Structure 1
Amino acid sequence: FFPLKTLELTVALIKPHAVKLPSVVESIKYEIVENKFYILRYKRCLMNVELASCMYKIHEKKPFYPRLVSHMTSGPIESFLLARENCITKWRHMMGITRACEAHLEDPFSYRGLYGLSNTRNATHGSDSAQSAEKECSVFFPDFCIPEWYNNEEIFFRNGYVKFDESQFVHVKEISGAPHLFQ
């Protein structure tokens, strides 16, 4: 017997040009659930320049930075805090290659292959590491305490004691039916 791995977290975004297309948003949301991600937080919001600059500070000196900040502040985004085993790798695989033109050829069924328009307007974003996920979580979901979730709720999610709240589009722990050890 091997215990289940601890769940990993990632921040996933649907970018403004893709959010303008309700069928794209619904398709991605459906696939998130179908691919067994737990949705811990979800919201639609507008990024202001300060938030976008903080989020993409790593790219500040790159030539595409102004275009990226401009795009990310051009309309609403959909933001998710996701959990599952190998969450970062799985989400990045579903997103596909960063450059949309390459994704169209090499990974046409990825989100970027299907919905990406350019390198900046490539449909989705995902944390590239656990450290990035932690930073991005604090930006998009400042009320979410990662250590507290790992201490109090992760075991419920890891063992499947959750229910999906469709009205909020999030998973929540389900105490009824969980072994007494979890409570």
Structure 2
Amino acid sequence: MEERYAFIAEWYDANASLTRRYQFLYFPSDNAIEMYDIKNRRIFLKRSKFEAIKPEQLFISSVINVHSRQLTLVDYADDFTRTKLTNRTERTLAIIKPDAVSKMGTILDIIANEGFSLCHVKMVRLSRKAAAEFYAEHTGKHFFDQLLDFMTSGPAVAIELMAPNCIRKWRQLIGPTNPAKAREESPGSIRAKFGTDGTRNACHGSDSPSSAEREIGFFFRRDHSNIAQFSNCTLGIIKPHAVASGLGGKIINEIQAKGFQISVLEMFFLERANGDEFLEVYKGVVSEYTQMVAQLCSGPCIAMEIVAENAPTEFREIVGPSDPEIARHLRPHTLRAMFGKDKIQNAVHCTDLPDDGVLEVEYFFRVLQN
């Protein structure tokens, strides 16, 4: 019998103001998909080859785009899929703590090189109340107040990671809680490289499946205060092809190395209507408009508020020409020259017009979040 994976998928139909549910089938032998309308009990999409979907995208809570519809996989549809994929898609919560946010590009690059998949990423700044809730198990311990002071001292980056044996693998990668011990026992670990002491130790990792589920929910299934500045800023977007290729950390590292502050960042899954609305200024102006929208909506992207004096102009300078081939000839040290493939898959979007910097940041970190 041919192997296939079955999920329950949901799509919000904005025109009808209701959520539609489908059985979503994926056939790894030929990268084909099929969809069945559960309510109306009929085939919605006949089996067809669909190269845009990859096996690593198939996990619960994953957001995928199928013919301009943004589907969320909400459950397994059979025991075979559940059994086959549960271990492969184990997830954990990682936190880049305030002391290591300046190194987040390097840490994200390490994560990509070790074979983890990024499911969600969000920069947050915890209130004392939220930090106390997250670390409730340590209430009353001698270091509790010091821990809260540290975790509320600046932004942190929460990351939902996925990999086989993800919890154990991430905890091995970050190393022992005490960085001094990490430098002795695991000198290549993240805490050995970037940690200072038992509190300022660069990263957090869930210690069990139940903790991982609770902690992921804490950061990604509830609202946290918006930390975007909306002034002296511009928008940068790491495009879906670059995220899928594991280039996010390298790009962020280059941005930070060039002296720009990333004041907020978050992973977004854009629907076609959002992509059209955001890129509308290019409609009728550039011939690649349709492909530009399709690329921006083809998978998760990472949006960033970049803060600097004359941010739109200065950031656009380091992003480089829209065509990476031209960039490689004329300005080889720009982001598109280093990480872009072609005019559509050119790694990074930047605000083109100086007056649009704040507007584009507001679109992602105010309009879409509401």
Tell me the TM-score range normalised by the shorter chain. 0.7 to 0.9
For the structure 1 residues 170 and 96, does the alpha-carbon distance in structure 2 shift closer, same or farther, using more than 3 Å as the test?
A: farther
Q: CA deviation at 1:103?
A: 1.0
Is 1:62 matched with 2:144? Answer: no
Match of 1:13 in 2: 95
For the structure 1 residues 103 and 66, does the alpha-carbon distance in structure 2 shift closer, same or farther, using more than 3 Å as the test?
A: same
Q: CA deviation at 1:97?
A: 0.3
For the structure 1 residues 126 and 170, does the alpha-carbon distance in structure 2 shift closer, same or farther, using more than 3 Å as the test?
A: farther
The answer to whether the 8 Å contact 2:123/2:266 transfers is no
Higher relative contact order (CA 8 A, sep 6+): 1
Match of 2:324 in 1: none
Q: For 1:99-178, list aligned pairs within 5 A.
A: 99-142=178-221, 164=244, 172=299
Provide Cα deviations, 1:48-74, integer angstroms capped at 9, x if missing partner. Answer: 111111111111121111111110000
Q: Size of the alignment, in residue pairs?
A: 152
The answer to whether the 8 Å contact 1:39/1:170 transfers is no
In 1, the alpha carbon distance for the partners of 2:180 and 2:140 equals: 23
In 2, the alpha carbon distance for the partners of 1:125 and 1:45 equals: 14
TM-score by length of structure 1 reads 0.75
Q: Counting strand residues as a fraction of each chain, which structure ranks higher? A: 2
Structure 1: which amino acid aligns with 2:190? Y
Structure 2: where are the runs of 5+ without partners?
A: 1-82, 223-242, 249-264, 270-298, 301-370
In 2, the alpha carbon distance for the partners of 1:138 and 1:169 equals: 16
**4+ residue segments displaced more than 6 Å:** none
In 2, the alpha carbon distance for the partners of 1:82 and 1:127 equals: 11
Match of 1:26 in 2: 105
The answer to whether the 8 Å contact 2:174/2:189 transfers is yes
Q: Among the aligned pairs, what percent are the same residue? A: 36
Match of 1:50 in 2: 129
In 1, the alpha carbon distance for the partners of 2:99 and 2:138 equals: 20
Match of 1:157 in 2: none
Bigger shift: 77-86 or 4-13?
4-13
| Max Rg structure | 2
In 1, the alpha carbon distance for the partners of 2:190 and 2:109 equals: 13
In 1, the alpha carbon distance for the partners of 2:266 and 2:144 equals: 33
Provide Cα deviations, 1:155-179, integer angstroms capped at 9, x if missing partner. Answer: xxxxxxxx72859668959xxxxxx
* RMSD, matched Cα: 2.6
Q: CA deviation at 1:6?
A: 3.8
TM-score by length of structure 2 reads 0.38
In 2, the alpha carbon distance for the partners of 1:3 and 1:43 equals: 29
The answer to whether the 8 Å contact 1:37/1:83 transfers is yes
The answer to whether the 8 Å contact 2:99/2:200 transfers is yes
SS of corresponding position for 2:212: helix
